[in-house]
């Protein structure tokens, strides 16, 4: 079976398509969301999800999160004396989801449809595919998150033509997409977004306000103190869904620092972020040649859309209430599962044609004439414009610049800047041309781009008909199967604990973290509880361990609730 996976910045989850429709797969802890967090403990155990998050509160230097923002980059994350790229950290999350799916389905899982932000460029999409391969998955398709969300909302089953906007604000990325349904064709008209804007930024707003009002310097706080402050700010932010005023409390240097923030004040603080949201919306509407009034429905995706400040902004902007019929955290995974079912040609899924668009402009570097006979190099020639429906094929003709020029080099670029150096370099190829005077020889450059983000570049010499083709994979964008296998061997030293032990490990880590945050008699009490649970683990009796786990879980829950009052 092919499963659908939403590999998110803050949380990830998997879904499958059964006879009753798309269904979220619960993880080993019985939860639907797996935090996109990875940690390496002192024994080289890889921890993923909630366990890694809890471990990282005590050992932040051994934990990584929000690494999706660095997909496709050269950034390295150092955990436990080892370095990892973002795609490698993502592969651990994907492997965890894969194991949970296998336990849920009772069969091996080797194929998946994985979603990415619509505004992910070629390098990030290929890094996502590589993460899947490192996790032991064949990635059948990379699907844009807004398209997956549209499928899950059942928009592809509507009987009338509909134009809708998908507003996707996750933990670390923001996408806005304009889609249109015509008969059985679901067409993406335009996409825009920001790969560095999400719910984490709305948390950071509270942290910055807290530090300023309390006269504190972030540089003087340890990694552990910063991690705890962000956790408290995240909890306070979520309370805005129920309260018009929240209070952030944080013990520091023997006293409790506090900050009370009203919803009105929070909205004022968030105005710069809301303005950053507004710009991609305007750009997507402009690219799609659609006015705000012509949008029939607004669909919300991503956990950050539950924030009142975000929903109020949407209602004011579009002058209509958004569609919230599907859980915003689950919409993308459910849609990816439906896409997987379509890939398998399941009879239960209504056949629908899905079209996507090229998120960024694809072009090449050329020289342009600035004055008679004077040329300036380094300019960008667009060949396939952004928001062109794909698959697409476009051709541009370029001419030799110098007398007796023998070679034309085609540099393949992706981006929106008119200057080549500001755009993303994907690769290049060269072709020989007959020696003639400048401008007398030409080549036709044809770009063909498909839904799997594969770009074929074909260069044809006009005078001779000679053709040179190349699939552009880009510098550092892909590993060969041999390289992937080699990297998997390099990572083999890492041990991933059996999934059955995860709940016990998580509970112990949570208890240890609460112990560190407590003092005096509270610590004595916590120590007794934790020792009792450790004694139960030593018995290796599943029944005894289960009873002890339930008792400790309840005690820790009551302890935290009592301390929050």
Q: Give catalytic status of residue 294 as yes or no.
A: no
User: Are residues 179 and 355 in contact, defined by beta-carbon separation less than 8 angstroms?
Assistant: no
CA-based torsion, 186, 187, 193, 195: positive or negative: positive
φ, ψ (nearest 5 deg) of residue 161: -65, 135
The answer for 520, left when phi > 0, alpha when psi is -120 to 50, beta otherwise, is: left
Place of tokens 């029939």: 296
Q: How many beta carbons lie within 10 A of that of residue 137, not counting itself?
A: 24
* Distance from C-alpha of 13 to C-alpha of 337, rounded to nearest angstrom: 11
Helix, strand and coil in the chain, % to nearest 5: 40, 30, 30
Degrees to nearest 5, angle at CA 26 with 22 and 28: 155
Is 68 tagged catalytic? Answer: yes
Residue 437 phi, psi dihedral angles, 5° rounding? -65, 155
Q: How far is CA 383 from CA 98, 336, 392, 444, 550, in A?
A: 39, 30, 11, 11, 61
Extract the tokens encoding 157: 């089953």
Contact between 245 and 260 (Cβ < 8 Å): yes
Overall size of the chain counted in residues:
565
Catalytic hit among 68, 126, 228, 510: 68
Strand (E) positions, 8-91? 11-18, 21-25, 34-35, 37-40, 46-48, 63-65, 76-79, 82-85
Q: Which of 50, 122, 145, 194 is catalytic?
A: 145
Question: Using an 8 Å Cβ cutoff, are 142 and 170 in contact?
Answer: no
In the set 121, 168, 175, 329, the catalytic residue is 168
Residue 206 · residue 199 · CB < 8 Å: no
Residue 350 backbone phi and psi in degrees, to 5: -65, 135
Which residues on neighbouring strands pair with residue 165, listed in sequence order? Answer: 178, 298
Omega before 391 within 30 of 0, i.e. cis: yes
Question: What is the CB neighbour count within 10 angstroms for residue 333?
Answer: 34
Based on the residue annotation, tell me whether 111 is a catalytic residue of this protein. no
Q: Which of 6, 41, 122, 441 is catalytic?
A: 6
Q: How far is CA 352 from the centre of its chain?
A: 25
Dihedral of CA 43/47/52/56: which sign? positive
The DSSP annotation for 202-249 comes to HHHHHHHHHHHHTT--GGGS-HHHHHHHHHHHHHHHHHTTT-SEEEEE
Q: What angle do CA 49, 50, 56 make, to 5 degrees?
A: 95
Burial class (CB in 10 A: 0-12, 13-18, 19+), 491: middle
Q: Say how many C-beta atoms besides its own lie within 10 A of residue 495's C-beta.
A: 12
User: Is 6 in the active site?
Assistant: yes
Catalytically active residues, by annotation: 6, 68, 145, 168
């Amino acid at each position: 079976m092919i499963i659908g996976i939403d590999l998110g910045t803050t949380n990830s989850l998997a879904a499958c398509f059964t006879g009753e429709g798309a269904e979220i797969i619960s993880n080993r802890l019985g939860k639907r969301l797996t935090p996109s967090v990875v940690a390496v403990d002192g024994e080289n155990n890889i921890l993923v999800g909630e366990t890694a998050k809890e471990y990282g509160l005590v050992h932040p230097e051994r934990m990584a999160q929000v690494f999706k923002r660095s997909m496709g980059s050269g950034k390295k994350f150092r955990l436990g004396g080892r370095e990892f790229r973002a795609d490698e950290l993502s592969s651990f999350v994907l492997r965890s989801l894969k194991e949970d799916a296998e336990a849920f389905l009772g069969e091996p899982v080797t194929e998946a449809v994985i979603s990415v932000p619509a505004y992910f460029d070629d390098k990030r999409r290929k890094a996502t595919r590589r993460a899947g391969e490192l996790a032991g998955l064949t990635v059948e398709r990379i699907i844009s998150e807004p398209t997956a969300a549209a499928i899950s909302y059942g928009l592809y089953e509507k009987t009338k033509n509909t134009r809708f906007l998908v507003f996707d604000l996750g933990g670390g990325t923001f996408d806005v997409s304009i889609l249109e349904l015509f008969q059985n064709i679901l067409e993406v008209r335009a996409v825009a977004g920001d790969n560095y804007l999400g719910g984490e930024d709305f948390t950071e707003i509270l942290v910055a306000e807290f530090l300023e009002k309390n006269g504190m310097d972030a540089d003087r706080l340890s990694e552990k103190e910063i991690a705890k402050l962000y956790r408290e700010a995240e909890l306070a932010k979520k309370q805005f869904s129920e309260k018009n005023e929240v209070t952030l409390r944080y013990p520091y240097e023997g006293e409790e620092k506090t900050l009370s923030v009203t919803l009105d004040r929070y909205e004022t603080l968030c105005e710069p972020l809301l303005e950053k949201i507004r710009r991609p919306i305007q750009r997507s509407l402009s690219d799609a040649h659609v006015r705000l009034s012509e949008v029939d429905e607004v669909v919300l995706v991503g956990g950050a859309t539950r924030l009142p400040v975000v929903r109020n902004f949407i209602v004011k902007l579009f002058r209509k209430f958004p569609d919230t019929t599907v859980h915003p955290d689950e919409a993308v995974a459910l849609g990816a599962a439906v896409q997987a079912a379509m890939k398998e040609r399941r009879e239960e899924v209504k056949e629908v044609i899905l079209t996507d668009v090229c998120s960024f402009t694809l072009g090449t570097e050329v020289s342009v004439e600035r004055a008679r006979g004077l040329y300036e190099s380094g300019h960008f020639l667009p060949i396939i414009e952004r928001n062109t429906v794909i698959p697409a094929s476009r051709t541009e003709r370029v001419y030799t610049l110098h007398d007796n020029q023998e070679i034309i080099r085609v540099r393949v670029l992706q981006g929106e800047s008119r200057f080549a150096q500001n755009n993303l370099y994907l690769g290049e190829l060269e072709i020989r041309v007959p020696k003639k005077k400048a401008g007398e020889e030409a080549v036709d450059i044809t770009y063909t781009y498909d839904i799997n983000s594969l770009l074929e570049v074909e260069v044809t010499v006009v005078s001779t008909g000679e053709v040179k083709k190349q699939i552009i994979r880009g510098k550092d964008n892909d590993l060969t199967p041999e390289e992937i296998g080699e990297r998997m061997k390099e990572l083999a030293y890492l041990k991933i604990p059996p999934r059955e032990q995860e709940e016990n490990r998580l509970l112990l880590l949570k208890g240890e973290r609460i112990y560190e945050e407590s003092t005096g008699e509270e610590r004595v009490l916590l120590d007794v509880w934790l020792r009792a649970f450790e004694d139960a683990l030593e018995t290796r009796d599943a029944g005894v361990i289960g009873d002890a786990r339930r008792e400790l879980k309840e005690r820790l829950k009551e302890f935290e609730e009592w301390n929050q009052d």
